[in-house]
Structure 1
């Protein structure tokens, strides 16, 4: 089932999410719905707060990005083959490498894209959908998507990384989003 995406301004997007346990109700159904919602919205990642659930859960499919690179872009992310992965109760262990810019967007903040600087690599510990523990290091565009989704479970948004002038320049657009004065081709729910 395709779920509505929570728009900028909703309090859940600013909450630090809670860990879940294996007995979380209907977890597999929730995961199926999150994947379906993400793909229906043309996303490459989706965090539970974006569907109004303040839990430490997100999904990432960076394979889509890697598989759709143009021929002249194939060397942009060497060694990054992309992933399709569920992250439960994730915690960043360490980051490394130089910060690099990428033009990020967010399903909860539609029609706004800005360059955000993030480290090259992220080491993260997490549970998969079977609650099996993992500690892995990701790099390239996959690390980028993980950083972005991880921020959601920490109550952060990509716009928090923008310089004050950029934030002032997009303030009106953000207000329009929070008031529902925007049209998108996926289901959204706006703050009241």
Structure 2
């Protein structure tokens, strides 16, 4: 079965700014949803996608991205919880980050360079994914989405304003107004 690419939900849409509901049923509907999520992520040229980014209020995300060693890792995590290093084990990576829900804009977001995400697979079996490099950033970014946070919420006010301005410019260029009177 192949998924269907769905439109990406953009910043400002309520489903992106509130915590998502836990998945309670591990069934064919969930499998179809994740197939659509992968199709949507690939169509948008992303490396991760949370369900609310296609308008679905459920705690599940998909990913297909490299770790620090450039090994691609692909999967699904349902009802994720994030475990981040603390104290002397914590090192921050302040790489630039972008988001399919805020297209055309990027900003440096300091995040731990390692992350461990616990959750469940599509059958309800427990899974744990440990990430480094971009995979660590992806695990954190997608879990944030499911908690109702976007990467712009981690930015200071001035940088956030600039990123949202860049997004508005990108959106206006991608969707110019039609002729007068057209809808």
Confirm whether residue 82 of structure 1 aligns to residue 82 of structure 2. Answer: no
**Counterpart in the other structure of 1:49:** 52
2:23–2:59 Cα contact (<8 Å) kept: yes
Structure 1 residues 81 and 17 mapped into 2: Cα distance closer, same or farther (>3 Å)?
same
Match for 2:154 among 129, 141, 161? 161
Provide the aligned length of Structure 1 versus Structure 2: 169
Unaligned runs of 5+ in 2: 176-183
3-state DSSP of counterpart to 2:131:
strand
Shift of 1:135: 2.9
Structure 1 residues 82 and 95 mapped into 2: Cα distance closer, same or farther (>3 Å)?
farther
Instruction: Compare the two structures and name the one with the higher strand fraction.
Output: 1
CA distance in structure 2 between the partners assigned to 1:33 and 1:136 by the alignment: 22
1:8–1:174 Cα contact (<8 Å) kept: no
2:26–2:122 Cα contact (<8 Å) kept: no
Aligned 1:124-135 pairs, distance under 5 A: 124-135=117-128
Aligned 1:149-188 pairs, distance under 5 A: 149-174=142-167, 181-183=172-174
**Counterpart in the other structure of 1:104:** 97
Larger relative contact order (C-alpha < 8 A, sep ≥ 6)?
A: 1
3-state DSSP of counterpart to 2:11:
coil
Scaled by the length of structure 2, what TM-score is found? 0.83
Match for 2:15 among 12, 30, 41? 12
- RMSD over aligned Cα atoms: 2.1
Unaligned runs of 5+ in 1: 67-76, 185-192
Scaled by the length of structure 1, what TM-score is found? 0.80
